[in-house]
Amino acid sequence: MRYALAPLREREFRLLFAGRLTSQAGSAIAPIALAFAVLDITGSATDLGLVIAAGFVPQILLFLFGGVVADRFPRHRVMVATDAIDGFVQLAAAALVLGGAAEIWHLAALNAVRGGATAFFFPAAQGLTPQTVPASQLQEANALLRLTHSGTNIVGTALGGLLVAAVGPGWALGWDAATYFAGAAVLSLMRARSSRPAAADTSVLAELRDGWIEFSSRTWLWTVVAAAAFGNMATSMGFVVLGPVVADRELGGAGPWGFILAAFSAGFVVGGVIALRIRPVHPLRAGQVALLVAPLTMVGLALDLPVWAIAAAALCAGIGLELFGVFWELSLQQHVPREKLSRVASYDALGSIVAMPVGQIAAGPLSDAIGVTNTLWVAVALFSVPTALCLLVPDVRNLRRLDLPGVPQSTAA
């Protein structure tokens, strides 16, 4: 465990860890608050899907430019700016909900601004971690950072469901705003420099083309991203949109759904602890195998299982997703040049989420046409089949980690 916590000895990593932990203390509550704020207004799964999708459309449009910005400028400053923007967005949403003036288009527009900020935050965060720790500690650093997310989600989702049920979603959104501002203040203390100052004659298009060459030249990379596009579309349809609908209609509302989400987050914590303990020779293969359990929550919803059984399925799903996430980030950071990492991460993020609005928007109409249960089974198939097919690709199965004994560290990115 001492080695697992070694990244915390580094000042820059400690600040990154503390900043992410602080901002995520409120973000765990926000999805529940937003979902039930929409359901309080109209009770429509279609409206909920539209509001959630509004947050992803700007990401699709801006992710690539976010990667260019994160490779050109100090990445922690990009994260500070986006945290501040998110704070103001959630503050406005809280005021509208608490004042009783919120309408669907208000929440959709604010979520769209938040999505645009995420398009710059994510590539910067992906690229910043290798600047804060030695190469040999990357897996542990990734696991610890992801534990900040999953750990806060355990408490946040459980309390979020109870808070929404007790006093409504407005106060939860206000708490999220406060934690974003606090996280920005912590990250502003970092001293990380830009990875590579842009040359005066380098255009944005040239930067994007350079990032695309790095992305498309790696079969393991674009194959997994293509499968993730289907997997994330399925999750958006069956878990993000239809999950709260099933909870509202059949499981008892926000409280039970918050309990299920807390179990899901607990799975991420367990997966993170496991990732601190094991170092597979082929991390991407291990991650894809672990990912096969991720649709279990949707299976539980489709089978109309009791809340405790769905929560157990969510726990297993969280473990699988977390193991995949740690090993995926490690593969990117070891095999992609550091000065191009944010741009490659932006192509990864774009490809992974491009179909998510399709799933979010289609969930309502499709469930009206064929029923909620059949739509959930469609989502399970859309996730499982592409994930399994990835394991047939040799580059995915055989990609090796570069921090093993006997592998020169100079070959690592």
What are the start-end ranges of the E strands in 319-365? none
Say which amino acid occupies 351.
Answer: G
Contacts of 407 (CB under 8 A, 6+ apart): 400
Please provide the size of the chain in residues: 413
Other C-beta atoms closer than 10 Å to the C-beta of 9 total: 10
The pLDDT-based confidence of 3 (bands split at 50, 70, 90) is: low
- For range 23-34, the mean pLDDT: 78
For helices 204-216 and 219-235, angle between their N-to-C axes, nearest 10 degrees: 100
Question: How many Cα atoms occupy the beta-carbon half-sphere of 84 within 13 Å?
Answer: 11
List the chain domain ranges: 6-411
Cβ pair 160, 253 in contact under 8 A: no
Distance CA 406, CA 249 (A): 57
User: Any alpha helices (H) in 168-203, and if so which ranges?
Assistant: 169-187
Closest Cα partner for 122 from 56, 188, 192, 70?
Answer: 70
Note the Cα 326 to chain centre separation in Å: 12
Strand, helix or coil for residue 312: helix
Closest Cα partner for 29 from 202, 144, 168?
Answer: 168
pLDDT of 6 above 60: yes
The pLDDT-based confidence of 205 (bands split at 50, 70, 90) is: confident
User: Could you read off the pLDDT of 322-357 as tens digits, one per residue?
Assistant: 999 999 988 988 888 888 888 888 888 888 878 887
For helices 104-128 and 30-41, angle between their N-to-C axes, nearest 10 degrees: 160
The terminus-to-terminus CA distance of the chain in angstroms comes to 26
The pLDDT of residue 2: 52
User: Could you read off the pLDDT of 56-102 as tens digits, one per residue?
Assistant: 788 888 888 888 888 888 888 999 999 999 999 989 988 888 888 87
Q: What is the dihedral of CA 178, 273, 282, 413, to 10 degrees?
A: 40
pLDDT of 225 above 90: yes
Distance CA 221, CA 390 (A): 11
Distance CA 207, CA 69 (A): 10
The pLDDT-based confidence of 411 (bands split at 50, 70, 90) is: very low
Other C-beta atoms closer than 10 Å to the C-beta of 368 total: 12
Closest Cα partner for 287 from 241, 347, 231?
Answer: 231
- φ and ψ at residue 157, rounded to 5 degrees: -70, -40
Angle at 211 between CA 209 and CA 217, to 5 degrees: 95
How high does pLDDT run on average in the chain?
84
pTM above 0.75, yes or no: no
* The CATH number of the domain covering residues in 6-411: 1.20.1250.20
Closest Cα partner for 319 from 139, 158, 152, 146?
Answer: 146
DSSP category for residue 9:
G
Q: Which residue has the higher pLDDT, 399 or 170?
A: 399
For helices 75-98 and 30-41, angle between their N-to-C axes, nearest 10 degrees: 30
User: Could you read off the pLDDT of 78-91 as tens digits, one per residue?
Assistant: 999 999 999 999 89
Q: Which residue has the higher pLDDT, 39 or 316?
A: 316
Cβ pair 333, 130 in contact under 8 A: yes
For residue 18, what is the enclosing H or E element?
A: helix 11-27
The pLDDT-based confidence of 46 (bands split at 50, 70, 90) is: confident
The pLDDT of residue 197: 53
